[in-house]
Amino acid sequence: MPGYVCAKCKEEIEVNPVEDKVICPKCSHRVLFKQRSDDPDHVPAE
């Protein structure tokens, strides 16, 4: 199962499919990117 990456702190998060909310446990940011191996769409511009 693919995980998520926090859009803010870049923390990798394993999401429990039972949970409704997807919130970064580190910074409580609510915008997470799906972690994908071959999708360059979500590469953040530093």
Applying CB under 5 A, the residues found at the interface with Zn ion are: 6, 8-9, 11, 24, 26-27, 29
Query: Considering beta carbons, is residue 38 or 46 the nearer one to Zn ion?
Result: 46
Question: Least distance (Å) from Zn ion to the CB of residue 29?
Answer: 4
Question: Least distance (Å) from Zn ion to the CB of residue 24?
Answer: 3
Query: Considering beta carbons, is residue 31 or 36 the nearer one to Zn ion?
Result: 31
Rounded Cα gap, residues 30 and 20, in angstroms? 12
User: Taking every pair of C-alpha atoms in the chain, what is the biggest distance, in angstroms?
Assistant: 33
With left for phi above 0 and alpha for psi between -120 and 50, is residue 28 left, alpha or beta?
A: left
